[in-house]
Amino acid sequence: MEKLGLYLSIPFCRSKCTYCNFASGVFPAAHHERYVARLEEDLRAIRTRARAWGAVLPNAVDSIYVGGGTPSLLAPALIRRLFTALRREFAVMPTAEITMECAPGQMDSAVLETLAECGVNRISFGVQSFVDSEARHTGRLHTRAVALEDIRRVQKAGVSQVSVDLIAGLPGQTLESWYESLRVLAETGVDHASIYMLEVDDESRLGRELLASGARYYAQEVPGDDLIAEMYSEAIGYLAGHGLAQYEISNFARPDCESLHNLKYWRRQPYLGVGLDAHSMLRARSGAALRFGTTDDLDAYLGSAGWTEPGRMSREQELEEAWFLGLRLNEGVSLAMLRGQFSASVVRACLATVAQLEDEGLLRFADGDRVTLTARGRLLSNEVFQRFLAEPAAA
Ligand code: SF4
């Protein structure tokens, strides 16, 4: 049976970044205990819930991702409670990849010791920029020196894998300052990096300010789309030259350091998300994919509301998803695998779209079996994915 990936959402932050529209926020520490108690309750009830939904819930877990939010803000005793609850309900494999997201400057020594003690072997730092003014303008509280010191502390504490996130397109960023962030990242020797192109959500503070032409969050200094695209393209070559090869649209790793947990999302392997605004994909006994999630309203979640009823995906939806998630990966989509999962006639029906996108320079064939995005296709990936949404129903 396939192994399970577990995601735990911890929606607490010390300050709200200007570009962020996640279901996260600054809440009093008193909420933390109630929230962890609620997670424990959900974990205890999950098998009964899965049975009632006809979902197959694997017992063996090979990846855990604690994200948010800033989970490292939880007190050590609460972190211990979470891992105890996880291990009580699931068989966490000794080799499991266990990641926790941390914000630089927001992980005290007791928390770091507790993470190592609980088996966390991967830390993902939301650095976003190693240029102090850029970090400050988006509401981040750290400086480059603090971020570098935290990376060193984690490496010294024996956490074997470290990932750093950067954002291309922050207010005030130039190609030169972007190269500075990339240079510092490469010098840290971390084995994984995530590079996101800034997408300003209208509901974030930055987005509202852009619409209103305000100046408080430096919205008028957001670089243009062409410059952001150039920063992203430059990062691919630069990181490859420093041993971090791209394996997904936004992700780069040294050999064998890809994020096992995130690969599950793109490969459509089962995962369970617990906590606020968490998403899950499990299989029904028939093999069909079941998707469900939880509320993004913290008060409702703490008040025991929570799970949406699972939606069973149609074969057509599963096929669409196999394309647009698989194409995110550099390994691309294997036609042989698609034929196995769907049927030869269904794959044949997709080939006209593939050929058209190949003519437009957005897709290419590799090894006669795999379809992958080209460099241009990666920049226009949403357009490519859109073209797979109207494929004929799977037989
Ligand atoms: S730390 Fe992350 S989740 Fe929290 S506000 Fe900033 S971007 Fe959003």
Domain coordinates in residue numbering, the chain: 4-264, 314-395
pTM of the model: 0.94
d(CA 321, CA 323): 5
Q: Are the C-beta atoms of 205 and 18 separated by less than 8 Å?
A: yes
In this chain, the answer to whether the domains covering 4-264 and 314-395 adopt an identical fold is: no
CATH topology for 314-395? Arc Repressor Mutant, subunit A (1.10.10)
The highest-level CATH class for domain 4-264 is alpha beta
Predicted pLDDT at 390:
61
Predicted pLDDT at 206:
77
User: Could you tell me if the CB of 13 is within 6 A of ligand 1?
Assistant: yes
User: Could you tell me if the CB of 126 is within 6 A of ligand 1?
Assistant: yes
391 Cα to the center of ligand 1, angstroms: 36
Q: Are the C-beta atoms of 46 and 37 separated by less than 8 Å?
A: no
Of 10, 24, 196, best ligand 1 pocket probe by most atoms within 8 Å of the beta carbon: 24
Predicted pLDDT at 357:
96
d(CA 382, CA 328): 10
Residues whose CB is less than 8 angstroms from the CB of residue 334 and which lie 6 or more positions away in sequence, other chains included: 326, 369, 370
Predicted pLDDT at 111:
96
Task: Give me the residues paired with residue 307 across strands.
Answer: 294
Task: Return averaged pLDDT per consecutive 10 residues of the chain, 395 residues in all.
Answer: 96 89 87 96 95 96 96 96 98 98 94 96 96 90 94 92 96 96 97 93 77 74 91 97 98 98 97 96 94 93 85 93 96 95 92 95 92 95 88 46
